[in-house]
Amino acid sequence: MQSISTDKAILFNSFQTSIGEIELPARFTFPFYYEPHPLSVIAAGELQQFMQKQEAWSDKFGLNAEDKPLKTGKMFGVLVVQNEVGELGYLAAFSGKLDGPTNHFVPFVYNLPETDNFYTKGMRVIESLGVQINEAGNSPEMAKTKSDLENLKASAEKEIENYRVEMRNAKADRKKQRKALENSNSESNAEFLMEKLANESRHQRYLLKALEAEWQSKIQGAQKNYDVFKNELNRLIEERALSSADLQKQLFDKYRFLNRAGESKRLTEIIQADGLPPSGAGDCAAPKLLQYAFANTLKPIALAEFWWGASPKTTIRHHKKYYPACNSKCKPILNFMLKGMPLDLNPMWIEHGQNKELITVYEDDYILLVNKPFGLLSVPGKEINESVASRMIEKYGENPPMLVHRLDMDTSGLLLLAKSTKVHKNLQAQFLKRTVKKRYVALLEGECSLAEGVIDLPLRVDLEDRPNQMVCYAHGKRAVTQFEVTEIKNGKTRINFFPQTGRTHQLRVHAAHPLGLNCPIVGDILYGTDNDRMHLHAEYLEFKHPETRKMVSFEVKAEF
């Protein structure tokens, strides 16, 4: 990796590989879904060769299993650019921070001054508040008032409950006395004694209220003493939160991004959501690269980002694999920076399902089974209307069959539809009760080390990178997949999946995740590498027919 220095001292890296035969792209890379351009692949390869030789980096990105504690990797990026004299080269960047020399990478969009600055001063205030919070929360005085309050509450509860027991026993005794008086022949004496028993009952209720009031007064006093310390602690916590938010806003206001037209906007102007931009916004590789290019009159040609190092435990990242820019942090920034630039089409907006045949596998008066081709949506999307549901309307009119379940756009195979609300309810209940037997067949990248087994990894949506799913033990929903390897050939694994739950992208994540099979499905653009198609097919369905009540099964073999 060789840098060419100019009077602007820009980090323009010349290609070491011959690129004369490679045609330039007509449009710039659509950063959120893309297949990297050959120039980007070459640039990334040269950067990776450079990175492999960096002995000065203390961070090994989790690639050295002997490192303790084990770290995870980081996203890096390359931007192919053309300088003012027409020469092609590339810029390099990393996301976040790098523990080691960074002189080969473009700088941060905003770099804090090394000398005393607003951020350092602000952090001192926040750290000081943290010390005060710790002291206040652990003060002996606060601990004593809290203990006094808890002891009073416990004593009150115990004494009041003991008195209630006494009242219940007295009530039972009065009941016996009343019964005895009812059988007595002395009416005048009985009337007197009955009134006496009633007065005893009223007096006990009065004493109970007095006891409760007495304890309530004591508890209120203790609560007041405790609240003096608790309120001060809450005040400090709130002050620290406000100071932190104010400091973050000051920092984000320093981030100003450029676009090709020379326009400049603050980060807080670009991301106008409630509250502050996400933590780390503006420090990802793609915005850094474009910012540097625009600031130094370099024309962006193509972009690619790749993961370097071990995968995190939650999201799916594979060493040296290419990934799109994230949605939560980067999308609004890149939308501004790329304004007016011709971009490649978003592959997610291309109607891949047009002209693909939707084959009927079985149909009667109650149900319909179709073999959905890959590339066709189950239901209309935000940008694409063509789907199984829309075709049902075209074919059946006002009362089309209703989808009982769904398949991802890139998944092919059996899809079940119901011809009435009653049938739909019956079939959905079978899916919810997990009595429907399903088998999927897939082709995986790599050789699976296990012949069979069960994957149990909870999943939820990745809030920072929708629609991707992530493993999350704290908030994820349980997802269980049984699997059975049927063939390993030419470095790929053919496998049967038997999902026990039906979470979004369940089979795709369970296949690709390091805690799952660590072998992405061939052609999975989200969790693996793009191909002519995603090699996942819903091959088999078995369920109880809603009308005949007999078990029925259907099978359609995959085309791959």
Q: What pLDDT, on the 0 to 100 scale, is given for residue 9?
A: 47
pLDDT class of 2 with cuts at 50, 70, 90: very low
pLDDT digits (tens, 9 = 90+) for 248-283: 888 888 899 999 888 999 998 888 755 667 777 889
pTM of the model: 0.75
Query: 376 burial class (0-12, 13-18, 19+ CB within 10 angstroms)?
Result: buried
15 DSSP 8-state letter: P
Question: Is the pLDDT confidence value at 173 over 70?
Answer: yes
**Rounded to the nearest 10 degrees, what angle do helices 187-254 and 118-137 cross at?**
160
256 or 188, higher pLDDT: 256
Kindly report the length of the chain.
560
Mean pLDDT value of segment 429-439: 94
Question: Is the pLDDT confidence value at 1 over 70?
Answer: no
pLDDT digits (tens, 9 = 90+) for 87-141: 999 999 999 888 777 888 999 998 776 666 888 889 999 999 999 999 999 999 9
Query: To which H or E segment does residue 402 belong?
Result: strand 402-403
Active site residues: 408
Q: How far is CA 482 from the centre of its chain?
A: 24
Short-list 542, 549, 550, 500, CA closest to 414: 542
R_g of the chain, CA atoms, integer Å? 34
345 DSSP 8-state letter: P
Write the CA distances from 286 to 4, 97, 106, 412, integer angstroms: 21, 14, 11, 34
Short-list 518, 34, 523, 101, CA closest to 319: 518
Q: Strand 551-555 relative to strand 452-456: parallel, antiparallel, unpaired?
A: unpaired
Cα distance between residue 72 and residue 544, in whole Å: 47
Cα distance between residue 320 and residue 305, in whole Å: 9
User: CB-based contacts of 78: which residues, under 8 Å, 6+ apart?
Assistant: 40, 43, 44, 47, 90, 91, 92, 93, 289, 303, 304, 305
Cα distance between residue 96 and residue 94, in whole Å: 7
